[in-house]
Amino acid sequence: MSANRRRPRGLHRNPFTPRDGFLAWANSPPVTGALCVLAALLCLTAASAAHRHAATLRERGIQARAEVLRAGDDRNALLRFTTTGGQQITAEVGTLGWNPAPVAGGTAKVVYDPLNPAFSIAEARSAPDPVVTWLLLGLAGFFTLLAPLSFTGRIRWRS
């Protein structure tokens, strides 16, 4: 073989040579398949956490009236409320979907988990939303379908 001719790309060629670089390795079927499996597992974990949070508030949540300390355009509001045990909690709560939007100095009805009142809190009028759980489960299913297609090389990702 002359020095100018390259070897033909066949089945026996090592797909991970330094000449091809990082992108060739990252776009290889084993790596993209493994990334699809990892993405599916992450989506399943996040869906499970979202479902647990919603179920906790639904099963043992306690309602309280909260004072709105700060409300802004960033879709979060700073609320202060007192638990049934007399503990004052100040927490930032997402306001996406609140109707009407919270106003600084106003009040809002919240539901909180008595075991973790500072971190498990939501607006009382909007029930825990299952949309996030279903969206994450759909993404997990999508990545689960992509994984075998990537492993077998039926889908070739281009760089």
Q: Is residue 15 part of a domain?
A: no
pLDDT digits (tens, 9 = 90+) for 60-80: 889 999 999 988 777 788 899
- What confidence tens digit (pLDDT) does each residue in 30-42 have? 888 999 999 999 9
Please give the tally of structural domains in the chain: 1
Q: Comparing 48 with 7, which gets the higher pLDDT?
A: 48
9 located within any domain? no
Residue 34 pLDDT: 93
Judged by phi (left if over 0) then psi (alpha if -120 to 50, else beta), residue 153 lies in left
69: domain range? 23-151
Residue 119 lies in a domain: yes
Is 63 inside a domain boundary? yes
